[in-house]
Amino acid sequence: MMDLAGNLTEQLEELKMFQRVDQELGATLDFDNVLMLTMDWALRRTGAAAGAFVTFSEQDEQLRSLVALGYPNPRDKTWQLNRSIIGRAVRTRQSQIVTDLASDPDHLPEDALSETRAAVAVPIELRGKVIGVIWLESEIPDTFTAANVAFVQRLAQRAAIAFDHARLYREAARQADEMASLYTASRMISATLERPQVLATAAQALATTLRVSLVVIADYCKLKDEIEIVHAYRLATARRAAAVLPQIGSVFAIESLPEVRYTIETQRSCSYTVNARTLSETLRNFMIAHSVRSLLIVPLVTSPTAINMQQIDTVGVALVMESRHDRYFSEEDRALAEALGSQIASALRQARLYAEVRELEEIKSHMIRMASHDLRNPLGVAMSYFDLLIESLGEQNFSEAQKRYIQRINNAHQAMRTLITDLLTLEKVESEREGIWQEIDFNALVSAEVEAHRAAADLRRHTITLQLPANTLYVRGSAAQLRQAISNLMDNAIKYTPDGGLIQVRLSAKERRLLFEVQDNGYGISKERQDRLFSLFYRAREPGTDHITGTGLGLSLVRTVIERHGGRVWVNSEAGIGSIFSFWLPLAQNLNA
């Protein structure tokens, strides 16, 4: 009865102990804490002098200690799978209990402390696979009794679960960090459309995100089947690294770089070390010349666009290099690099398109200026000589029909001059830089334009009214452009209102915006013509307006100006009733309306 009572007491104490073990292991998701708690409990329960939590990597068959207690020096050690007691525990999936360490054929002196006489290696299994080993050492041969070993085996089962939870938590945290890094890097890369800045931020993002010493970006020319180095970046914190920046503009034939060809053709990243036996001579020489020990080749692949879902192309490669130490690029590293590579390729494509559009805009502006100049001079000569001819012949000598012909010629000359002027004005508006914009008193601008148009309105016997807010409204922009927009709307109102009409000009403010309106009681515009009203060269022909001249550029210029200033223009109109042309603009900051 006494033995039974003693066993029950011992089992009860062990249950309490495991309850505490479960509580402590379950209370933390910290990877290192799980390992430390496991080893602390193993040493306390068995009385071992030292021990280590050894992990096993099935991929490279490596055994490495993550936590070690009881050793005089920090223990960062590896064991051989085929010749070590720990390796034997992994191979056999059985606990190894050794009472005479010196006589064990798999024992190597460097695997344990010199005073160690006995050892136990208990495999840790999870989902049918060995993920590690609990290794314990003792100076006393009979330290590891059957009860102690059984305790360590049960501890290993609990540790495996806690270890897995901690691993999953750490993996989730790592992925969250990677996503945050990827998001930050993507924002950096796409923050500009200038190619040099895209290359610089892309290389920096790769270097900092993957924690490498050197990044090189190279363009790929499919026609020539070669790559050209266009940017090189060395991590600022790695200035003392041995890495040597390659020469910008260096060209390499893909024929001599099978590793690069493989990356381009498969659109998958690949890693290499300088000592790899399969490395091509060209790539090995490149790595040696630039003191690189490890290399990851990343394809810069564009993703499909909404216009062309088949548009996938490799625009280049990024060489992610480490010179300070040997670097193993994991699958996670490669996935992260490829995601960044896709962002870089898209940014480079956008930069190329932006450069092409800017070049076309420059060509267009040059052509407009050249054509307008070439047209203005001969037109001026033609108009001058025509006036001289009419004056020399004498107006009294012309019949009524001839006078009508002369008037039509003058109207055509004037229309051509107006068209040239409007084209030049539109081109100037589109090319003017925002950097020279200023804060403008919009009340004063509107008042000045209303006064400037009173003479033209008086000739048509129009009445113009002006309604301004009590407070001065300010906007940031180009006074010349905004003056032209206001002038064009008032010109339209005067021209498209029969004599004796009413034109009302209003300015107001609401919710950090100003609203400008020009209302007339003129011919109006039918609904079907309003959609195209602000298009280039479009004129809405309504009954009674055939005699009114115009180029169809005035309202297009208004839209261009207002949208460049961050606003919007629109019209409300009804044929035969009149029109209200309106636009809003954002008020200048730090100025109260």
What would the pLDDT profile of 31-51 be if each residue is shown by its tens digit? 677 778 778 888 888 889 999
Residue 91, token pair as written in the block: 């191979």
pLDDT at 46: 87
pLDDT at 58: 76
Q: By the 8 A CB rule, do 124 and 160 touch? A: yes
Long-range contact pairs involving 501-505 (C-beta distance under 8 Å, separation at least 24): 501/460, 501/462, 501/463, 502/462, 502/463, 502/465, 503/457, 503/462, 503/463, 503/464, 503/465, 504/464, 504/465, 504/467, 505/446, 505/450, 505/464, 505/465, 505/466, 505/467
Q: 306 by DSSP, 3-state: which?
A: coil
User: Measured between alpha carbons, how far is 411 from 550 in angstroms, rounded to an integer?
Assistant: 10
pLDDT category at 444 given cuts 50, 70, 90 is: very high
pLDDT category at 12 given cuts 50, 70, 90 is: low
Dihedral over Cα of 137, 141, 143, 148: its sign = positive
Dihedral of CA atoms 343, 196, 566, 481 in degrees, nearest 10, equals -160
pLDDT at 62: 81
Query: What mean pLDDT do residues 286-292 have?
Result: 89
pLDDT at 468: 92
Among 513, 516, 528, 452, smallest CA distance to 487 is for 452
Average model confidence (pLDDT) across the chain: 79
Q: By the 8 A CB rule, do 204 and 188 touch? A: yes
Among 238, 221, 220, 250, smallest CA distance to 318 is for 220
User: Measured between alpha carbons, how far is 52 from 133 in angstroms, rounded to an integer?
Assistant: 8
Higher pLDDT, 106 or 368: 106
pLDDT at 365: 60
What is the CA angle 530-495-454, rounded to 5? 125
Query: What mean pLDDT do residues 458-467 have?
Result: 89
User: Measured between alpha carbons, how far is 245 from 290 in angstroms, rounded to an integer?
Assistant: 7
Please report, as a single letter, which amino acid is at residue 234. Answer: R
Among 482, 475, 507, smallest CA distance to 590 is for 475
Higher pLDDT, 186 or 297: 297
pLDDT at 147: 84
**Domains parsed from the chain with CATH numbers:** 13-172 (3.30.450.40), 190-348 (3.30.450.40), 434-586 (3.30.565.10)
Query: What mean pLDDT do residues 88-108 have?
Result: 91
What would the pLDDT profile of 506-563 be if each residue is shown by its tens digit? 999 988 899 999 998 887 777 777 677 776 655 555 554 555 555 556 777 888 888 8
Question: What percentage of residues in the chain have a pLDDT greater than 70?
Answer: 73
pLDDT category at 305 given cuts 50, 70, 90 is: very low
User: Measured between alpha carbons, how far is 483 from 554 in angstroms, rounded to an integer?
Assistant: 13
pLDDT at 239: 53
Residue 370: how many other CB atoms lie within 10 Å: 10
pLDDT at 374: 60
* DSSP string for residues in 34-99: HHHHHHHHHHHHH--SEEEEEEEETTTTEEEEEEEES-SS----EE-SSSSHHHHHHHH-S-EEES
H/E/C letters for each residue in 160-195? HHHHHHHHHHHHHHHHHHHHHHHHHHHHHHCCCCCH
The yes-or-no verdict on residue 309 having pLDDT over 60 is no
How many residues appear in the chain?
593
Q: By the 8 A CB rule, do 263 and 299 touch? A: yes
pLDDT category at 592 given cuts 50, 70, 90 is: very low
Q: Where is average pLDDT lowest: 170-174, 211-215, 507-511?
A: 170-174
391: left (phi over 0), alpha (psi -120 to 50) or beta: alpha
What pTM was computed for the model?
0.45
Residue 439, token pair as written in the block: 């804060």
The yes-or-no verdict on residue 414 having pLDDT over 60 is yes
Q: By the 8 A CB rule, do 219 and 227 touch? A: yes
pLDDT at 95: 92
